[in-house]
Amino acid sequence: MTGKNQTVISEFLLLVLPIQLEQQDLIYVLFLVMYVTTVLGNLVLIILIRLDSHLHTPMYLLLSNLSFSDLCFSSVTMPTFLHNMQRQVPSIPYAACLTQLYFFLLFGDLESFLLVAMAYDRYVAICFPLHYTSIMSPRLCLSLVGLCWVLTTFHAMLHTLLMARVRFCGNNVIPHLFCDLSALLKLACSDTRVNELLIFITGGLLLVMPFLLIILSYARIVSSILKLPSARGIHKAFSTCGSHVSVVSLFYGTIIGVYLCPSNDNSIAKETVMFVMYMVVTPMLNPFIYSLRNRDMKGALGRVFFKKKIPFSV
């Protein structure tokens, strides 16, 4: 032990949104409405898929998992954030901060892995339509979901346990709206080289790999359509992959946009935009992207909630 005066940090201070006092209520209501929409939209989607037996296909079961992940991802940060908006000094206790970090990593990764599983599902549906039911069996579907959970649990656990070893003293101001991995490391007063190395390695593997796998499955889909170009094939590909492509673009578009845009000036503005896109807009839009463009979803909505007889389209 060194003889230095070491205060142990029991809570962190978070960033205050750079908004004027008179706009505060308006912005608060806006965030609240978006969060409630996220929760309700995703819940309706999950309930719909559970209740309507027409939707018990791999594509919709995976979508239901994605909705669950969206719902949880948004709930990791939004309640604390909304609560903190009402206070002068937004703070978060140490334990809550680590918990938030764990679930943020867990559901963030889960989302990107589920997008890969969904891309694989579309790849099989378009490239091997005759063998689709035998390849994408309920068992494979369950294994894919299980694998996603195992990988993300491991990753989130690894970083959270490593973070629990890091010592904090002195500075406890996190220049972020939630407990972010790299922001926390910048405040550490013990050695964080192992943490940084592992972030680099797992970050590369867990962010770049899913993206490449998704690109790969879409490359195969496009090349299989180009081999046998027919109006029907192209229409089918568009109608079954359109929603997935939109969701993937939204998810990775945000990440790429955040990392590629220059960060030297107004980083608070950038941080806010990133937070809003990640935590609110993406999880909020996913269920709408899937249900608005999709005849099966609309049919299910009618069947489940209004007890109408709507034929199922194949």
Ligand X SMILES: *[C@@H]1O[C@H](CO)[C@@H](O)[C@H](O)[C@H]1NC(C)=O
Site residues for ligand X per CB under 6 A: 46, 61, 64-65, 68, 141-142, 145
The answer to whether the beta carbons of residues 76 and 1 sit under 8 Å apart is no
Backbone angles phi, psi at 11, to 5 degrees: -150, 160
Q: Which residues contact 47 (CB under 8 A, 6 or more apart)?
A: 304
Least distance CB 127 / ligand X (angstroms): 21
| Helices 282-292 and 231-260: angle between axes, nearest 10 degrees | 170
Nearer to ligand X, 144 or 187 (CB): 144
Nearer to ligand X, 65 or 160 (CB): 65
Q: Is 92 helix (H, G, I), strand (E, B) or coil?
A: strand
Least distance CB 293 / ligand X (angstroms): 20
Least distance CB 146 / ligand X (angstroms): 8
Backbone angles phi, psi at 12, to 5 degrees: -110, 150
Count Cβ atoms below 10 Å from residue 55 Cβ, excluding itself.
22
Helix runs in 86-137, H state only? 94-127, 132-135
Backbone angles phi, psi at 217, to 5 degrees: -65, -35
Count Cβ atoms below 10 Å from residue 89 Cβ, excluding itself.
8
Nearer to ligand X, 137 or 249 (CB): 137
Nearer to ligand X, 17 or 46 (CB): 46
Count Cβ atoms below 10 Å from residue 31 Cβ, excluding itself.
18
Least distance CB 216 / ligand X (angstroms): 22
Whose structure tokens read 């972010």? 180
Nearer to ligand X, 153 or 224 (CB): 153
Least distance CB 51 / ligand X (angstroms): 12
| 173 DSSP β-pair partners | 13
Nearer to ligand X, 62 or 187 (CB): 62
Q: Which residue is nearest to ligand X (CB)?
A: 64
Least distance CB 41 / ligand X (angstroms): 15
Least distance CB 56 / ligand X (angstroms): 9
| 11 DSSP β-pair partners | 93
Nearer to ligand X, 138 or 204 (CB): 138
